[in-house]
Structure 1
Amino acid sequence: MVKNATPAELKKGGVILVDKPATWTSFDAVNQIKVTLKAKIGHCGTLDPLATGLLICCTGDMTKSISGYQGLPKEYTGIIRLGAVTETYDLESEPMDHKPFEHITELQILETTKQFTGDIMQTPPIHSAIKKEGKRSYDLARAGIEVVLNARPVTIGEFEITKIDMPEVHFRVLCSTGTYIRSLANDFGAALGCGGYLQLLRRTKIGNFKVEDGHSPLEWKEIWKEMKNEERNKPQTEETL
């Protein structure tokens, strides 16, 4: 990505790193960029509305390269809250089935991560965009229709516990594309016997792209606005007269 690429250059084709804010859908974030640039645009992997972090957006001719970015490994940080579960595996739904967690030790937590490291089989959340018989799984689930999704292979290269402040377990995960961190949180809590759900999630890396090199959609809007103002206020040379 050319960090100081102008809107005109990005219309032809470029890569934009977006730091998606919480509560925004990935569509919201991409659409804001699209409206600002008035350019063809696509993104390389969605984030849940409550999650924050890195979205890679391709514009113009670079949209042809989206598939190449989609397969890159991803890094996340977040918090798993133990002692309850939710239907969506995160805070999109209310915690329920509360269980005691005080007996869970730090050693148990650290040992349990080993079950979820390497090549594993993972069942996606039924509240996901995966299609079942032509319909989105979350639409079927919201309609009260029973949904059964098959487990699929994913790779979790690293599952590091960075802090334990019970019932909150802070983590960092490096994983393959297709991994659901919500499912990881749910399965991790189940393995500990007390339940768990994803309380917080941030995508920090996609391949070698880092979230700290990105900007929120509204920040990008201001950056490009300033660029246009600077271009407009440039003194004319003899060549441009």
Structure 2
Amino acid sequence: MSSQEKPYGAVFLVNKPYQWTSFDVVKKIRNALKIKKVGHAGTLDPLATGLLIVCAGKETKNIEGYQAQEKEYEGTIVLGKTTESFDLEKEIKEVAEPSHLTEEEIHHAAGRLTGDILQVPPMHSAIKKDGKRAYKAARKGIDVKLDPRPVRVLRFEITGIDLPEIHFRIACSKGTYIRSIARDMGEILGVGAYLSVLKRTAIGTFKLEDAWNLDSLVAKIKSEQHENL
């Protein structure tokens, strides 16, 4: 690199594929770029899809700024059943029949989970307890007690009710676990619940509709590198 050339930096908006980890996406882009400094701004669970911001080169110094922005999600909660991970990663267990629930009760539960709330993260999460990732202990069958944390749910809109499924749209602060919202909704309604579908649609002003398909992005990166040889 000559002294006139600016250090490389780029921000990529990626539509994270289903069953990929956020790190899988970073690794694929890192290999395509052939540089080490690549990271993502906000983890998505493997079973979630949607917008992932990936920063490369000098842009990695801005990751915390992207992470701090408001997030928006769409998804589906299933009532009457739950799982250990509060999503489809673990075995589904019957809890209680939800057919008696009214739309008013469901909207009221969503209201109770809106605003500034205290939320206990899922045991199957990357949050650290005593310096160790909680999910590692959970996978060994070790019960980890996680402390509640303040989060902000700016909007919790119920977009459809087709029991046992509830469809929703949420806008929330950094650090909010949508799986925990599903769990808490099931507890409020007394029937249990888990998250069956989750898609991140926005981070701040960045929108999923502007994101790249991962394979198309990697192909573009490789093509541009070949042109610059």
On whether the aligned pair clears a TM of 0.5, the verdict is yes
Task: Specify the alignment match of 1:50 in structure 2.
Answer: 47
Q: Secondary structure at the match of 1:65?
A: helix
Q: Secondary structure at the match of 1:63?
A: helix
Task: Specify the alignment match of 1:167 in structure 2.
Answer: 164
Task: Specify the alignment match of 2:19 in structure 1.
Answer: 23
Matches of 1:123 and 1:112, distance apart in 2: 17
Q: Structure 1 counterpart of 2:83, which letter?
A: T
Matches of 1:10 and 1:195, distance apart in 2: 54
Matches of 1:113 and 1:72, distance apart in 2: 22
Higher strand fraction: Structure 1 or Structure 2? 2
Residue 114 of structure 2 is aligned to residue 117 of structure 1: yes
Offset at residue 193 of structure 1 (A):
0.9
Q: What is the correspondence of 1:116-155 to structure 2 with a 5 Å cutoff? A: 116-155=113-152
Matches of 1:131 and 1:34, distance apart in 2: 26
Matches of 1:231 and 1:135, distance apart in 2: 43
Task: Specify the alignment match of 1:106 in structure 2.
Answer: 103
Whether the aligned pair in 2 keeps the contact of 1:10 and 1:60 (CA below 8 Å) is no
Residue 197 of structure 2 is aligned to residue 180 of structure 1: no
Residue 218 of structure 2 is aligned to residue 221 of structure 1: yes
Deviation readout 1:57-91 (Å, 9 max, x if unpaired): 11111111111111001000000000111000000
Offset at residue 43 of structure 1 (A):
0.9
Q: Secondary structure at the match of 1:113?
A: helix
Residue 187 of structure 2 is aligned to residue 193 of structure 1: no
C-alpha root-mean-square deviation of aligned residues, in Å? 1.7
Is the alpha carbon distance of 1:231 and 1:142 closer, same or farther for their aligned partners in structure 2, counting shifts above 3 Å?
closer
Q: Alignment length, in residue pairs?
A: 224
Whether the aligned pair in 2 keeps the contact of 1:126 and 1:138 (CA below 8 Å) is yes
Gaps spanning 5+ residues in structure 1: where? 1-8, 233-241
Offset at residue 155 of structure 1 (A):
0.2
TM-score, normalising length from structure 1? 0.89
Is the alpha carbon distance of 1:231 and 1:143 closer, same or farther for their aligned partners in structure 2, counting shifts above 3 Å?
closer
Offset at residue 211 of structure 1 (A):
1.0
Whether the aligned pair in 2 keeps the contact of 1:10 and 1:59 (CA below 8 Å) is no
Q: Secondary structure at the match of 2:31?
A: helix
Matches of 1:10 and 1:21, distance apart in 2: 32
Q: Secondary structure at the match of 1:170?
A: strand
Task: Specify the alignment match of 1:36 in structure 2.
Answer: 32
Q: Structure 1 counterpart of 2:15, which letter?
A: D
TM-score, normalising length from structure 2? 0.93
Whether the aligned pair in 1 keeps the contact of 2:10 and 2:57 (CA below 8 Å) is yes
Task: Specify the alignment match of 2:79 in structure 1.
Answer: 82
Pick aligned residue for 2:199 from 198, 202, 208: 202
Q: Secondary structure at the match of 2:94?
A: coil
Q: Secondary structure at the match of 2:73?
A: strand
Offset at residue 212 of structure 1 (A):
1.1
Structure number with greater Rg is: 1
Task: Specify the alignment match of 1:6 in structure 2.
Answer: none
Identity across matched positions, percent = 54
Matches of 2:6 and 2:159, distance apart in 1: 38
Matches of 1:170 and 1:118, distance apart in 2: 19
Whether the aligned pair in 1 keeps the contact of 2:39 and 2:55 (CA below 8 Å) is yes
Q: Structure 1 counterpart of 2:31, which letter?
A: V
